[in-house]
Structure 1
Amino acid sequence: MPPPSPSASLRQEAERFVRQYHAEHPQLAAEAGAEGGAVEARLREVRAEIERTGTYTHSPAELTFGARVAWRNAARCIGRLYWRSLVVRDLRAVSSPDEVAEECFEHLRLAGNGGRIRPVISVFAPDLPGRPGPRIVNDQLVRYAGHRTAQGRWAGDPRSAGLTERARALGWKRDQEQFQVLPLLVRAGPGAAPEWYELPDGAVSEVPLRHPDHAWFADLGLRWYAVPAISDMVLEIGGIRYPAAPFNGWYMGTEIGARNLADAERFDLLPVVADRLGLDRSSERTLWRDRALVELNVAVLHSFQDAGVTMADHHTESERFLRHIAQEARHGRPTPADWSWIVPPVSGSATPVFHRYYDPVDASLRPAFLAREPHES
């Protein structure tokens, strides 16, 4: 049997989403005056629009619901307890790289919120038949540059080496600083040449890192940005794909202290911290890595709290995630979770999320945030 046509597949996904939207908003049926009347009326509208144009348009309420449920369905995210609080910016009329970049900077300002980080998503123009939407090349709106020096050492973040070279090829000037913010690269569509935009003053909030007990820690000159806004995933709602939809929550301390700054493939700071602590690195059995890792995470949590910037610790966030699971169970919904992402990279077995199994990840679950395919970039 041949696969369904694109329009038939879209109709199926649209119908599934519309029914889900109305099932989770039972008040709509009451407002319509007849049980089932509201959903059937909306389905007739959607089917007619797909038949006429090859696509359909979500209402603002549907877009908001779809974006929030995509977060609820994100199996790798431990912070889903707050999915209903996601601020959805409807920017579907925005598609030019200049406008997308400006709205991304505004996203960072709104999400930063003077340190009280708000979960925000900015949804730009969708892919339409014959008219693809814009793409953001960066994997996060804020990233630090990385490159090898003439001596073969890394300056900055090795993870960003490829993006750094792409920006340089477009004319951006790199320096030798450890924490140089990369420009934002935006495409008008797949295959289009990207435009680059320096992030303006006021868009990026950074926190200098200090330790509550070790004054020398400040001399390391470390810092990290406040808003972790993912920007290279596709938001799919009811068969409609939004290829530029940057979104953020707030950081859990271990994301910075146990991964970004500690990983050997990233800033690789554990040997530096261990030496400043006077730890014995002659053998792995001294557990110098573990001891340095804890102090690095103490510094991150202390610094964000001292700066008044929202951040969760891995013990508290683990307890919140179990509350989220319990809430979803009361609504009769599963909570798919990727154990390897949910369990924190520090003291995993000391957190409650370690000692249990989770609903399996369902790749067909929608709405969802999806990895972009290479041909979609």
Structure 2
Amino acid sequence: MTAVDNEPITLDVDAAEGFLRMFHIAHPEAGPVGPRLAEVREEVAETGTYRHTTHELAYGARIALRDSGWCTSGVPWRRLKVRDLRGFRNAGAVAAECVEHLRLATNGGEIRPLVTVFAPDTPTAPGPCVWNEQLVRYAGHGDGSGDRRYREFTDAVRGMGWRPPAPPGRFDLLPLVVETAHEGVRLFDVPPDVVHEVLLEHPDLPWFGRLGLRWHAVPVITNMRLVIGGVTYPAAPFNSWFVGSEIGARSLADEHAYGAARPVAEALGLDTSTERSLWRDRAVVELNRAVLHSFDLAAVTITDHHAESRHRLSWLRSRQRHSGNRPAFRLDPAAARRARAGGPARFSPAPEETTQPQSPGRLAELLRRRVEGVGGAVGG
């Protein structure tokens, strides 16, 4: 059995049963859940896992995005398009379809929320994974230019053979890093012509444009795994649209990213010798204004943090406290490390004690007992 992040691939059978019941309650037109449970029990008994129907997959992905908190205000989650690419396991195909996801999501600036689901983890064939935090990220270089958050990641991919443009720039696109169990780690350049970038200017400050700041239009999150009914999809890129402060405050102003707050403050003539002057706060406000103004001017979908705060409060009030078996997008600590440090690899040799066949779980065992006449049938 292949191990991922030093853990064997197993199926949470309780989650499978809970999800199927949840799906059939939400979709009575699918008929009673009993026959579907029986079908899944048989499949689990034979293979150790099961395959979602197209409708189950779409429903699970939509619920996961809705409940995750990543779904920004205005996203029609019920009509969210889910691209079912579960047959894709090879790194080249995954990379190409990630780029196609970006093209479709950009949609000329009228951002289209999408989820693309690649092959799942199974006991015999683990799915691919993407190391990058987002499909579009900028390199951080040794001279301090670029996005400093990704300095280690940049160094790692350079060690794998990637070469930045000469001379290195502030907004060099990092390659997409895709890992599969059968191919290992492979790098793919993101074509610049599919990355829609917005040049930043300010509605009231004519000099702002000379700072040379820009940002990409679509946040495609690529390193979170989608878990639906016990089945894990390690590569399931999804996007909503940006909140302006994610760009202005978190990416551009932050000293650990682009550190643009100080040059903005200095251009404004603010006292940067002491934090008590609140120069940083005033600079961040102007950066956020520039982002919202520029995205609106370029007709690229974006929301502001005030609208998003109201949306999040409403989401928190209406959110039901369900069990952990509901569909979810999850970020593993190892995936978070890969996105910043460029490692460790996801696939590694399994410890000897985990290479023995694993039990497919409770449903499979109950099915065996029923077939052998030892126990009763499992009710739907």
Contact residue 109 and residue 202 of structure 1 kept, 8 A: no
Alignment-derived partner of residue 205 in structure 1: 196
Alignment-derived partner of residue 368 in structure 1: 328
- CA 1:321 to 1:82, structure 2 compared with 1: closer, same or farther past 3 Å? farther
Contact residue 230 and residue 247 of structure 1 kept, 8 A: yes
In 2: Cα distance, 1:262 partner to 1:77 partner: 24
Alignment-derived partner of residue 167 in structure 1: 157
Show CA shifts across 1:122-175 (max 9, x none): 1000011121111111111110000222xxxx1101111122122212221124
Identity of aligned residues (%): 49
Alignment-derived partner of residue 260 in structure 1: 251
Alignment-derived partner of residue 359 in structure 2: none
Q: How does 1:345-364 map to 2 (within 5 A)?
A: 364=324
- State the 1:268 CA deviation: 1.0
Contact residue 135 and residue 189 of structure 1 kept, 8 A: no
Deviates more, 1:205-214 or 1:72-81: 72-81
Unaligned ranges ≥5, structure 1: 30-37, 335-358
Alignment-derived partner of residue 53 in structure 1: 47
Equivalent of residue 105 in structure 2, options 99, 111, 119: 111
Contact residue 81 and residue 324 of structure 1 kept, 8 A: no
1:10 aligns with 2:1: no
- CA 1:193 to 1:28, structure 2 compared with 1: closer, same or farther past 3 Å? closer
In 1: Cα distance, 2:74 partner to 2:20 partner: 23
- CA 1:72 to 1:80, structure 2 compared with 1: closer, same or farther past 3 Å? farther
Q: How does 1:88-237 map to 2 (within 5 A)?
A: 88-149=82-143, 154-175=144-165, 176-189=168-181, 193-237=184-228
Deviates more, 1:241-250 or 1:66-75: 66-75
The amino acid that maps onto 1:229 is V
1:194 partner SS: strand
Alignment-derived partner of residue 42 in structure 1: 36
Higher relative CO (Cα under 8 Å, sequence separation at least 6) belongs to 2
The amino acid that maps onto 2:177 is L
Alignment-derived partner of residue 260 in structure 2: 269
The amino acid that maps onto 1:186 is V
- State the 1:6 CA deviation: 7.9
In 1: Cα distance, 2:74 partner to 2:109 partner: 20
Alignment-derived partner of residue 352 in structure 1: none
Deviates more, 1:68-77 or 1:53-62: 68-77
The amino acid that maps onto 2:250 is R
Unaligned ranges ≥5, structure 2: 1-7, 335-344, 348-380
Alignment-derived partner of residue 348 in structure 1: none
- State the 1:52 CA deviation: 1.1
Deviates more, 1:55-64 or 1:274-283: 274-283
Alignment-derived partner of residue 32 in structure 1: none
Alignment-derived partner of residue 377 in structure 2: none
Alignment-derived partner of residue 369 in structure 2: none
The amino acid that maps onto 1:123 is V
- State the 1:189 CA deviation: 2.8
In 1: Cα distance, 2:282 partner to 2:71 partner: 27
1:155 partner SS: coil
Once superposed, what is the RMSD of the aligned Cα atoms? 2.1
1:285 aligns with 2:282: no
Deviates more, 1:115-124 or 1:79-88: 79-88
Task: Provide the TM-score with structure 2 as the length reference.
Answer: 0.81
Task: Provide the TM-score with structure 1 as the length reference.
Answer: 0.82
- State the 1:53 CA deviation: 1.1
Alignment-derived partner of residue 245 in structure 1: 236
In 1: Cα distance, 2:58 partner to 2:39 partner: 19
In 2: Cα distance, 1:80 partner to 1:127 partner: 32
